[in-house]
Amino acid sequence: MDQGRAARRTEVVAIGNQKGGVGKTTNTVHIAAALAERGRKCLIIDLDMNHGATRHFGIPSDAFLGAFEILTHEEKPLDVILSSEDRDDDLTLPENLDLIPSRRKLEKIDQALAAKNKFLVMQDVLLEPLEQLRGLYDYIFLDTAPNATTPTIAAYKAADWFILSAIPDPFAIAGLSDALTDIQDAQRSGNPNLRLLGVVLSGVDKRTTLANSLSDYVEKIFTPDGSSRSAKFDTVISRSTAIPQTQKLGKTLFQSHSTHKVTDQYRQLAREVEERLRAFRGEPMSKPIGEVLPTLPTQVKEALVANG
């Protein structure tokens, strides 16, 4: 990796929602890939023991050191970064997109940290590794797990920005309230600078009325009182078989389906991400977005009741 360049202003972005299967990893990989295509230098840190982002790049499980070693400070982040510049047949990372991979061993992180130092504040373990990386990238994306494991909590504690992943599924929408509470808890308990950059709605099939009504609902509940701007990104990611296909290949859509509609949606989303960052940086922190309204749309309530 070229370390001799001028320092960059690094934005650390956590992508989360402690609900499983809501597109966190797919969004992390493709927002980063779209920004990398725009020439931005990006790093993804895979903080999930199920290593979805690592698998997305076709990297075999347990092949490389990564998140576990940087969180336990056994390795310096710069020594475990995988990049397109690496000459390894197993690696096909896109240009400008680096990865700190994860593996199953991450499930043992708490025991490993406690064995090192019983007084260690576990939620702070990502702060020092990130300090070593700031200035080298335009963006560092933190892909988090669907539960409150130490690496996930450490991501909420260390990030500058938060992108919330949501899908138009009644249960996922009903759970958005918990996702917002998690962000607010992180703001109250140690990371007052954490800001919600936006909500990405993905896996949307616009042909269904439920998806359209849930999309409108998400738009509405994420519009703070008195504001005309919703935290939901205007760009919505469609549901497409291209996504599981590219994941099976261990590639990004930018490598396997570069002219696909969904690839273009991620390009558009990346532009929105950069526009928001430019707008938000100079702005004082807006009023926190209120609790998600308990008044779920009728269709969501009906779907929840029908499913017990």
Ligand X SMILES: Nc1ncnc2c1ncn2[C@@H]1O[C@H](COP(=O)(O)OP(=O)(O)OP(=O)(O)O)[C@@H](O)[C@H]1O
d(CA 25, CA 2): 27
Backbone angles phi, psi at 63, to 5 degrees: -75, -30
User: Which residue in 96, 123, 149, 247 binds ligand X (CB under 6 A)?
Assistant: 247
Q: Which of the stretches 23-31, 71-79, 89-97, 154-162 binds ligand X when contact is defined by CB under 6 A?
A: 23-31
d(CA 80, CA 300): 44
Q: CA 204, 56, 34, 13: dihedral to nearest 10 degrees?
A: 90
Q: How many residues bind Mg ion (CB under 5 A)?
A: 3
Could you say whether residue 41 binds Mg ion (CB under 5 A)? no
Cβ-based burial of 308 (10 A; exposed 0-12, middle 13-18, buried ≥19): exposed
Could you say whether residue 163 binds ligand X (CB under 6 A)? no
User: Which residue in 25, 27, 54, 152 binds Mg ion (CB under 5 A)?
Assistant: 25
* Identity at 75, one-letter amino acid code: E
Q: 197: part of which helix (H) or strand (E)?
A: strand 195-201
Q: Exposure pattern of 41-64 as b/e (b: 16+ CB <10 Å)?
A: bbbbbbbbbbbbbbbbbbbeeeeb
99 Cα distance to chain centroid = 13
Could you say whether residue 215 binds ligand X (CB under 6 A)? no
Could you say whether residue 52 binds Mg ion (CB under 5 A)? yes
Could you say whether residue 20 binds ligand X (CB under 6 A)? yes
Could you say whether residue 96 binds ligand X (CB under 6 A)? no
Could you say whether residue 135 binds ligand X (CB under 6 A)? no
Closest to 102 in 3D by CA, of 132, 131, 139, 65: 65
User: Which residue in 24, 232, 257, 260 binds Mg ion (CB under 5 A)?
Assistant: 24
Q: Which does 290 bind (CB under 5 to 8 A by kind): Mg ion, ligand X, none?
A: none
d(CA 114, CA 105): 15
Q: Which does 10 bind (CB under 5 to 8 A by kind): Mg ion, ligand X, none?
A: none
d(CA 212, CA 184): 28
Taking the least distance from each CB to Mg ion, the nearer of 166 and 303 is 166
Instruction: Say if CB 125 and CB 97 are below 8 A apart.
Output: no
Taking the least distance from each CB to Mg ion, the nearer of 107 and 219 is 107
Q: Which of the stretches 33-41, 65-73, 232-240, 252-260 binds ligand X when contact is defined by CB under 6 A?
A: 232-240
Q: Which of the stretches 20-28, 64-72, 98-106, 192-200 binds ligand X when contact is defined by CB under 6 A?
A: 20-28
Could you say whether residue 22 binds ligand X (CB under 6 A)? yes
User: Which residue in 13, 52, 71, 98 binds ligand X (CB under 6 A)?
Assistant: 52
Instruction: Say if CB 159 and CB 13 are below 8 A apart.
Output: yes
Could you say whether residue 21 binds ligand X (CB under 6 A)? yes
Q: Which of the stretches 2-10, 47-55, 92-100, 188-196 binds Mg ion when contact is defined by CB under 5 A?
A: 47-55
d(CA 98, CA 85): 9
Chain residues in the site for Mg ion (CB under 5 A):
24-25, 52
Chain residues in the site for ligand X (CB under 6 A):
20-26, 48, 52, 146, 165, 202-203, 237, 239-240, 243-244, 247
